Amino acid sequence: MWYDLRMKYRIPKEVEIVSSGLRKAGFEAYLVGGCVRDLIIGKEPKDWDITTNATPEQIQGIFTDSFYENDYGTVGVKTGSLDARLAIIEVTPYRTESAYSDKRRPDTVTFGASLLEDLARRDFTINAIALDDAQGHLIDPYEGQKDIKDKLVRAVGNASLRLNEDALRMLRAVRFVAELDFGIDGGTAEAISKNSEHLRHVSRERVRDELVRILNSDKPMNALVLAQQLGILKFISPDLPRGIGVEQNQAHSYNVFEHNLRSLQHAADKGWSLDIRLAALFHDVSKPETRCWSETKKEWSFHGHEVVGSRVTKKALEDLRFPRETIERATKLVRWHMFFSDPEQITLSAVRRMITNVGEEHIWDLLNLRICDRVGTGRPKEQPFRFRKYKAMVEQALRDPISVKMLKTNGEHIMKTFHVNPGPKIGWTLNALLEEILDDSARNTREYLDKRTEELLEMPEDALMNLGEAGKQRREVAEDEEIRQIMEKHHVC
Ligand code: ATP
Ligand code: MG
């Protein structure tokens, strides 16, 4: 049934200008793929694709501000929009694809097909719907709308054949499960299980891009469990399924595999960065090979799993061609995730050493990873008192101490400018100045401090000494106050 959808879906004017431009020049034009799927779901489309019977040259003839630099006929039309999603509208001629002998790329791409032929070459029914934005109706030969309603990813046509053409589609299926919170249709799932081996032929970069999208989605855990059930997780990384069935001690409700996944899911629930998500997924990856039974303790130990695990993580991420910086950050987090954090037993200098190990810029990520780790054990409380106290200690270790170094002057400057010899007078002066700027930070300027220095130096020595001592005491009070504020912030007063 055709019905008018123009009222229902808001199509941006940039998109309409391009599609109506094609039509005015005598061609067909339809919105297609992810944007139509997202419009029907009620999600904001990430980008907008138009398909047409015009050739790349004809498209470029209509839109002079455009570019064409690929083998698939896609012309990027620049719209001048400031919105990144609308700045370039991709226009692709209808096409068909011939055999895929390498299981990843069509041997030839042929233009000049019909809309229906073009929809037939697409991966899943939910992505094979076209929207005629002039008439306001959908062309949906594979019942994609029904699958959207049923929340199902289903291959267009014969699932086995389609997944065989391009093995990446298996991972795309799992990615849509993660991003849309859909399931996979039974026949398609079966075809994935049967054809999983073909994922070996897919470039690691393409696998990585799908993994990143899975990890950055709201539901990475479900999708990776499904990937495991379908037998494709090992092609993302053979190290991940090694934790399956590896049981742990009382403190853990889950085996190593499930614990890693639950830790990852918590990072996603919190909206934390890809670095933390990667580290959470891999943090206990080497527990299987480091596991030892202790007869005396009557429990498992996993000595050094974080050291081995950081090496394994590095290799796995290198294999997936992650950027060097991402690998460094994620492996560092894995390497140091076992840090000792009992504030009753730890000194501030041990906390400082920890910060030096992992790097000041990563310390908060490491603490967040600890939260994921804790939640991933199945223990209910997320941030117990002692952990908050440890956080307060980290903040205390990170803050600059209150000292005369904060002043916009220094001993050398004073000696030179005011012709004073080295001696206690310099220290008294600096401490007296510090007291003043602690009361009013606006006074911390060269001009003001020079003026005050001149006055202080003219004072009798014992009076200056008293002011200096008072300054020192005032500094201690201010230090205590800052620390108290940190404790209060973390609710550990
Ligand atoms: P999103 O934009 O959210 O990533 P999408 O579905 O638009 O999702 P794209 O990679 O942008 O995904 O591809 C656009 C459309 O091209 C898809 O909706 C699908 O119809 C088709 N497509 C993309 N990749 C493939 C593939 N490997 N095999 C078959 N069709 C594909
Ligand atoms: Mg898209």
Q: What is the pLDDT of residue 103?
A: 66
What does the pLDDT look like over 252-266, one tens digit per residue?
778 899 999 999 999
pLDDT value at residue 157:
95
| pLDDT score, position 52 | 96
Domain count, the chain: 3
Is the CB of 49 inside a 6 Å radius of any atom of ligand 1? yes
Q: What is the pLDDT of residue 1?
A: 41
If asked whether residues 434 and 391 sit together in one domain, one would say no
Residue of minimum CA distance from atom 28 in ligand 1: 123
| Residue 442 falls inside a structural domain | yes
Residue 118, domain CATH: 3.30.460.10
Q: Which atom of ligand 1 lies closest to the CA of 172?
A: 27
Rounded to whole angstroms, how far apart are CA atoms 316 and 138? 43
Distance from the CA of 282 to the center of ligand 1, in angstroms? 29
Phi, then psi, of 447 in degrees rounded to 5: -60, -50
Strand extents, DSSP E, 254-320? 292-294, 299-301
Q: Give the residue, 201 or 342, on which the prediction is more confident.
A: 201
Last residue of a domain, one of 120, 148, 176: 148
| In 88-203, alpha helices (H) | 115-120, 144-150, 159-165, 168-180, 186-195
Any domain includes 270: no
Position with higher pLDDT, 334 vs 442? 334
Pair 24, 74 in one domain: yes
Does residue 133 form part of some domain? yes
> Range with the lowest mean pLDDT among 94-98, 122-126, 233-237, 466-470?
94-98
Q: Identify whether 11 is part of a domain.
A: yes
Whether residue 17 is found in the same domain as residue 78: yes
Map tokens 């897919």 to a residue. 202
Verify that 345 and 421 share a domain, yes or no. Answer: no
pLDDT of residue 7: 55
Which amino acid is located at 489 in the chain? K
Residues 110, 10 share a domain? yes
**138 and 107, same structural domain?**
yes
Q: How far is the CA of 130 from the centre of ligand 2 (A)?
A: 13
- Calpha distance 63→57 (Å, rounded): 10
Mean pLDDT score across all residues of the chain: 91
If pLDDT is split at 50, 70 and 90, which confidence band does 2 have? very low
71-81 pLDDT, tens digit each: 788 999 999 99
Q: Are both 361 and 474 inside the same structural domain?
A: no
In a domain, 274, yes or no: no
Residue 104: is its pLDDT beyond 70? no
Per-residue pLDDT tens digits for 353-380: 899 999 999 999 999 999 999 999 887 6
- Are 49 and 141 part of one and the same domain? yes
With bands split at pLDDT 50, 70 and 90, how would you rate the model's confidence at 400?
confident
Domain hosting 328: range is 284-398
User: What residues contact residue 16 under an 8 Å CB cut-off, 6+ apart?
Assistant: 133
Claim to verify: residue 451 and residue 350 sit in the same structural domain: no
Q: In the predicted model, is pLDDT for residue 90 greater than 50?
A: yes
Predicted confidence at residue 9, as pLDDT, reads 74
pLDDT at 73: 87
Of 361, 378, 398, the position where a domain reaches its end is 398
Is 34's C-beta closer than 6 angstroms to any atom of ligand 1? yes
**How far is 147 from 182, CA to CA, in rounded Å?**
9
Which of 51, 122, 125 maximizes ligand 1 atoms within 8 Å of its Cβ, making it the mutation to test the pocket? 122
- Looking at the domain assignment, is residue 340 inside a domain? yes
Question: What predicted TM-score, i.e. pTM, was given to this entire model?
Answer: 0.85
Mean pLDDT of 330-345: 90
Query: Ligand 1 pocket, 122 CB below 6 A?
Result: yes
The answer, yes or no, to whether any atom of ligand 1 lies below 6 A from the CB of 213, is: no
393 and 414 belong to one structural domain: no
Using the 3D structure, point to which of 98, 132, 148 is the last residue of a domain.
148
In this predicted structure, what is the pLDDT of residue 432? 94
φ, ψ of residue 78 to 5 degrees: the values are: -85, 130
Residue 140 lies in a domain: yes
CB of 155 within 6 A of ligand 1: the answer is: no
Q: Are residues 16 and 117 in the same domain?
A: yes
Atom of ligand 1 lying closest to residue 47 CA? 2
For residue range 24-36, list pLDDT tens digits in order.
999 999 999 999 9
| 482 in a structural domain | yes
**Two tokens, residue 250:** 């009382």
Q: Are residues 362 and 441 in the same domain?
A: no
- C-beta of residue 357 within 8 angstroms of C-beta of residue 349: no
Q: Give the whole-angstrom CA distance, residue 265 versus residue 132.
A: 39
* Ligand 1 pocket, residue 127 CB under 6 Å: yes
- Give dist(CA 296, CA 299) in Å, integer: 8
Question: pLDDT tens-digit profile of 161-175?
Answer: 999 999 999 999 999
pLDDT in tens, 41-73: 999 998 999 999 999 999 999 999 999 988 788
- Does residue 100 surpass a pLDDT of 70? no
